[in-house]
Amino acid sequence: MSRLDLQRQKRLEPKRMEEAKRRIGAKIPKLYGQTSNSISFDYKGQKVVYYPYSGWASGKSIKDGRGLENLLKQLI
């Protein structure tokens, strides 16, 4: 999905992707999918997708919402 400010997205997205992989990976040992703009992993037997640039997380086993911190609070 493109944004209005593509330069900002190109600058920030790789940094946010690395930070998200590091912090989610500390709680979930196996991240099984990564595209150019999302990270996928299993949690409680269900697929969860996190989009680091927008901060959006979605999946059956979590409460959908924004923010890496909110996602990490749900991952026990």
The pLDDT profile of the chain, 76 residues, written as one tens digit per residue, is 556 788 998 999 999 999 999 999 999 988 888 888 999 999 999 999 999 999 999 999 999 999 999 999 999 8
Residue 36 CA to its chain's centroid (Å): 11
CB contact at 8 A, 54 and 66: yes
Surface-to-core class of residue 71, CB atoms within 10 Å of its CB (0-12 exposed, 13-18 middle, 19+ buried):
buried
List the Cα angle 75/36/28 in 5-degree steps: 20
Q: What is the pLDDT of residue 30?
A: 86
